[in-house]
């Protein structure tokens, strides 16, 4: 029997890329998965392969929508064991060209949404000795060119992870983070460099081993989500094919 058998897990960014890989893997290991994303067609496609799964179209930048999503997941399945914050967005821009709207939207998706969901989920996770897995990025541990808002948000997400780990140190709740490097996802395949970008700076983020497959990173997330990781709390795991080793 899988350590995830019967666990109720909310996964954001569930319609594509790493989020979809996490949904499929957790579902295959017996978890009851509640997926959140903005594209109903792609959500429907992903969850057609997931037994006992449910999904909801949700704007993670909206605090009320995040609270409602957690409430609906608990109402649907009767409990909550894990929250996996995968959803994120990254558009490279020259910093002087970043508009106020772009700055606020980048932080809303990459940092505010995970906070809103953690805030709503924690009372339920305290009841089940559950856990949170936040998906940050190598951009949360180092600077990356043309990515001021994204780096700020992902550094913030690691800070949020560590703050919650300390706050809940005397409970059974666990909070951890995963920092993927480059992955073969739609975000990469749709990548567009800003005009006049210095590609030497962009390629400083590349791993000598190349990009990971989403399914590879999903396995690390599944480990942290399950009871086999009961001793892991407040950790920040690099999943970057060795990029952070040098």
The catalytic residues are 150
Distance between CA 74 and CA 57 in Å, rounded? 16
Residue 109: CB atoms within 10 Å: 23
Spatial CA neighbour of 220 closest among 185, 164, 181, 168: 181
CA distance 229 to 232: 5
**Parallel, antiparallel, or unpaired for β 131-135 and 82-85?**
parallel
CA torsion angle 30 32 33 34 (round to 10): 180
* Residue that has been written with the tokens 């179209």 in this structure: 57
Between the CA of residue 157 and those of 153, 176, 225, what are the distances in Å?
6, 10, 17
CA-closest candidate to residue 211, choices 240, 187, 244: 240
């Amino acid at each position: 029997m899988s350590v995830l058998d019967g666990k109720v897990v909310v996964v954001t960014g569930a319609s594509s890329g790493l989020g979809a890989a996490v949904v499929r893997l957790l579902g295959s290991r017996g978890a009851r998965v509640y997926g959140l994303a903005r594209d109903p067609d792609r959500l429907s496609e992903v969850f057609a392969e997931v037994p006992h799964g449910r999904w909801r179209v949700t704007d993670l930048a909206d605090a009320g929508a995040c609270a409602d999503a957690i409430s609906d997941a608990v109402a649907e399945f009767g409990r909550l064991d894990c929250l996996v914050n995968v959803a994120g967005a990254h558009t490279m821009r020259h910093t002087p060209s970043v508009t106020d709207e772009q700055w606020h939207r980048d932080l809303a998706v990459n940092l505010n949404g995970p906070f809103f969901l953690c805030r709503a989920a924690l009372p339920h996770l305290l009841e089940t000795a559950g856990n949170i897995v936040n998906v940050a990025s190598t951009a949360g541990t180092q600077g990356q060119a043309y990515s001021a808002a994204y780096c700020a948000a992902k550094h913030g997400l690691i800070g949020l992870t560590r703050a919650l780990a300390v706050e809940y140190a005397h409970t059974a709740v666990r909070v951890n983070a995963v920092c993927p490097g480059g992955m073969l996802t739609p975000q990469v395949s749709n990548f567009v460099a800003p005009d006049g970008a210095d590609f030497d700076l962009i390629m400083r983020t590349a791993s000598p081993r190349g990009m990971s497959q989403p399914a590879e990173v999903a396995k690390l997330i599944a480990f942290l989500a399950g009871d086999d990781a009961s001793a892991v709390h407040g950790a920040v795991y690099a999943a970057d094919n060795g990029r952070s080793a040098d």
